[in-house]
């Protein structure tokens, strides 16, 4: 969301949108939206309809009411666009749209609905003379003061960001001694499995201009979620979604690894690290990014270097010691050929190198893309090979989409990754050692009846097998549906059936156990978001691996007191029965208990350019063990095991909270004051939820106060 605007400010307003393709080749487009009340949002659209809100341009949009309607004006400077070199008149693609909030109707020229396969390649055309973009240059120095009470550190940092674009052939973006302390806090995610959680990038340096590094639609978590759910993310109802069984991205470049937690530190004998040290992000010394285009070729080069790792701990004598290790270095190279006039053809290469004190990790990827001019068919291929510490592996994906009509689409996904492929030093692959197929049938239908205004959804069939043992590790049938009701209400539902299969990862390399056949259902209702108070509530039931039925309920409210002050409160309550959690080696415990996850998000736009935000998320879990099992030596059904301890009860308490004030003085010139506090308590035995919640505040592992000021010089 651009600058200080919020999506919640678009809920009950008329909105005007403008989309522009300055390349004239359908490679990507920019979109701009202005709502009544001058709230603005911008971003980019990759073919054909992959929206990315990570671009921030120095444009101005204003609206005005008058008798009988309202008007909007935009000032879009040519210098902010990526425009290919050329002489004489230019062909520019464009689309205009208007959303009438009170009627929940959208008008667009050209008239492509959200369900049609074409968008970027089917824009209107107009010819413009005299377009001569200025050479761009900006330098943004900053100073920040950081007080870390949890680690008893005080730091003053001075750094600089620079952007230089002498022509479309070349653009340089660099950052020296960057400080990313003022970005949004990550969501709290409770994950006790062996699978890694994907967290999206939120740092502007790595977000802006990243479209050249995207190799397939599945590299973006947003695109992957949109295809599986067929969501149009309409804002007529409160923003609440069914997020179960959504896929993780498959990406060769996950920039969250850069400056993330260190993974190349030799353990030091007799040293116990302080709580939370392994989760501390690594400081960056600097990063540089080169991007550009020439005719149908685009390229990108990214390099970054981390500072030394400095962990704190206690040695065998009880003395405080520092564990110091060299930081890592990262290099990314991208070259892409694309032709979008008529049939879309693309072929690209992306290579990454992560160098550390213990090993080097190299990944090479080749991606190919095809789509006819009609837009009803597309194919994307990603082939890759990795070499990590001398161990090589390979894999690939194939995605084929076919739109039989404007409301029906089909997609086939094929995956293959051997047991040695590893891209996770600089990319993201949730697991290897599998082959699989997935079919997605998407449908959408508009209605004008009294009982229903529209319906859209997907049916998904999935089947995966591991390569080393030939075991079925994932299979199921999933039906998602969204129904729009009169009065701007929405019902979302999910039905799933998962036949028995093997779970081969949660034992952390100690065998695979067979799960029972399972069922899952969920129902979520949300009300008109234009009201002062809008609500959502959900209920669902699902079977655990051994067949026990767990229940989940959720509730939330958005209070829009004024156009500049609104509050979101959500809570999820899960009652688990027979939840299997790994207990070391081949052992698992089956748990009954309660999982609470409340969250609060308060936004106050104090005045033009001033925002005050408070956010808090907490996950509290109390589980009692009611069964102890082990994986048999030959794999298969879990068998009863002997407890070593009297019981294996546990608790979890995760907290993240942030208070942030931002004053946007001008584009890319602002003042941040941010306070972050977070904690992850070790397992307790029988603490109450009130004690778990209060104790997360008493001795946090994250307790920082940051003041940062940056000022932009340049055109």
pLDDT computed for residue 181 by the predictor: 67
What is the rounded distance in angstroms from the CA atom of residue 19 to the CA atom of residue 28?
10
Mapped onto helix, strand or coil, the DSSP state of residue 476 is strand
pLDDT score for 553: 98
**pLDDT at 696 (0 to 100):** 87
**Lookup: tokens for 66:** 């008058």
pLDDT score for 3: 44
Which pLDDT tens digit goes with each residue over 514-529? Answer: 999 999 999 999 998 8
pLDDT at 454: 86
3-class SS letters over 291-342 = EEEECCEEEEEEEEEECCEEEEEECCCCCEEEEEECCCEEEEEEEEEEECCC
- State residue 1's pLDDT score: 37
pTM (two decimals): 0.90
**How far is residue 653's CA from residue 312's CA, in Å, rounded to a whole number?**
23
- At 2 the pLDDT is 39
In the prediction, which pLDDT does 55 show? Answer: 74
pLDDT in tens, 610-627: 999 999 999 999 999 999
CB-count exposure of residue 271 (10 Å: 0-12, 13-18, 19+): middle
The pLDDT score that the predictor gives to residue 189 is 87
Sign for the CA dihedral angle at 164, 17, 612, 239 comes to negative
Low-confidence ranges of the chain (pLDDT < 50): 1-5
The CA-atom distances, in angstroms, between 359 and each of 262, 264, 266, 362 are: 13, 8, 11, 10
């Amino acid at each position: 969301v651009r600058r200080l605007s919020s999506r919640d400010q678009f809920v009950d307003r008329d909105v005007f949108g403008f989309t522009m393709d300055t390349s004239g080749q359908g490679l990507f487009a920019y979109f701009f939206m202005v709502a009544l009340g001058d709230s603005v949002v911008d971003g980019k659209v990759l073919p054909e309809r992959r929206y990315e809100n990570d671009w921030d341009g120095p444009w101005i949009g204003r609206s005005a009411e008058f008798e009988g309607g309202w008007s909007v004006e935009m000032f879009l400077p040519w210098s902010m666009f990526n425009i290919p070199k050329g002489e004489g008149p230019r062909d520019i693609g464009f689309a205009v749209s208007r959303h009438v909030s009170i009627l929940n109707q959208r008008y667009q020229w050209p008239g492509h609905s959200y369900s049609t396969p074409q968008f970027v390649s089917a824009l209107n055309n107009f010819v413009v003379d005299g377009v001569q973009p200025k050479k761009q240059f900006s330098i943004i120095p900053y100073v920040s003061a950081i007080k870390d009470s949890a680690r008893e550190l005080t730091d003053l940092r001075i750094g600089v960001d620079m952007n230089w674009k002498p022509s479309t052939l070349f653009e340089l973006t660099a950052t020296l001694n960057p400080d990313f302390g003022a970005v949004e806090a990550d969501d709290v995610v409770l994950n006790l499995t062996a699978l890694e959680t994907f967290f999206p990038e939120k740092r502007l340096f790595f977000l802006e201009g990243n479209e050249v590094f995207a190799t397939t639609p599945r590299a973006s978590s947003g695109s992957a979620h949109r295809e599986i759910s067929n969501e149009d993310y309409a804002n007529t109802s409160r923003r609440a979604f069914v997020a179960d069984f959504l896929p993780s991205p498959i990406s060769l470049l996950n920039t969250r690894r850069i400056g993330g937690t260190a993974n190349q530190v030799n353990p030091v004998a007799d040293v116990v690290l302080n709580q939370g040290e392994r989760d501390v992000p690594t400081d960056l010394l600097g990063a540089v990014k080169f991007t550009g285009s020439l005719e149908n070729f685009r390229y990108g080069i990214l390099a970054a270097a981390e500072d030394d790792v400095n962990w704190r701990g206690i040695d065998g004598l009880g003395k405080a010691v520092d564990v110091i290790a060299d930081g890592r270095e990262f290099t990314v190279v991208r070259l892409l050929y694309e032709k979008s006039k008529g049939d879309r053809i693309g072929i690209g290469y992306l290579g990454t190198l992560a160098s550390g004190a213990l090993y080097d990790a190299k990944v090479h990827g080749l991606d190919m893309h095809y789509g006819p001019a009609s837009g009803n068919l597309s194919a994307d291929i990603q082939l890759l090979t990795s070499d990590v510490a001398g161990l090589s592996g390979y894999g690939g994906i194939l995605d084929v989409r076919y739109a039989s009509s404007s409301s029906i689409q089909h997609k086939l996904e094929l995956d293959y990754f051997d047991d040695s492929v590893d891209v996770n030093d600089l990319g993201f692959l949730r697991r290897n050692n599998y082959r699989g197929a997935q079919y997605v049938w998407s449908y959408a239908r508009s209605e004008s009846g009294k009982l229903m205004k529209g319906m859209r959804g997907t049916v998904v069939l999935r089947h995966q097998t591991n390569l080393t043992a030939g075991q079925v590790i994932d299979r199921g049938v999933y039906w998602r549906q969204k129904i729009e009701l009169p009065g701007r209400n929405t019902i979302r539902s999910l039905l799933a059936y998962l036949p028995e299969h093997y779970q081969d990862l949660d034992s952390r390399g100690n065998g695979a156990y067979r799960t029972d056949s399972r069922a899952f259902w969920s129902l979520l209702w949300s009300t008109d978001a234009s009201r002062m108070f809008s609500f959502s509530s959900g209920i669902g039931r699902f079977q655990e691996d051994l067949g026990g039925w767990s229940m989940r309920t959720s509730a939330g409210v958005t209070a829009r007191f004024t156009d500049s002050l609104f509050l979101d409160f959500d809570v999820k309550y899960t009652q688990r029965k027979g939840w299997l959690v790994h207990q070391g080696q081949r052992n698992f415990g089956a748990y009954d208990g309660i999982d609470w996850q409340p969250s609060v998000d308060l936004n106050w736009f104090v005045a033009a350019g001033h925002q005050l935000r408070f956010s808090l998320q907490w996950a509290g879990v109390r589980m009692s063990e009611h069964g102890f099992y082990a994986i048999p030596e030959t794999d298969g059904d879990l068998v009863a095991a002997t407890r070593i301890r009297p019981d294996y009860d546990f608790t979890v308490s995760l907290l993240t909270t942030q208070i942030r004030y931002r004053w946007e003085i001008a584009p890319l010139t602002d003042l941040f004051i941010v306070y972050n506090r977070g904690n992850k308590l070790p397992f307790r035995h029988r603490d109450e939820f009130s004690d778990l919640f209060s104790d997360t505040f008493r001795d946090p592992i994250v307790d920082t106060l940051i003041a940062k000021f940056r000022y932009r010089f340049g055109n």
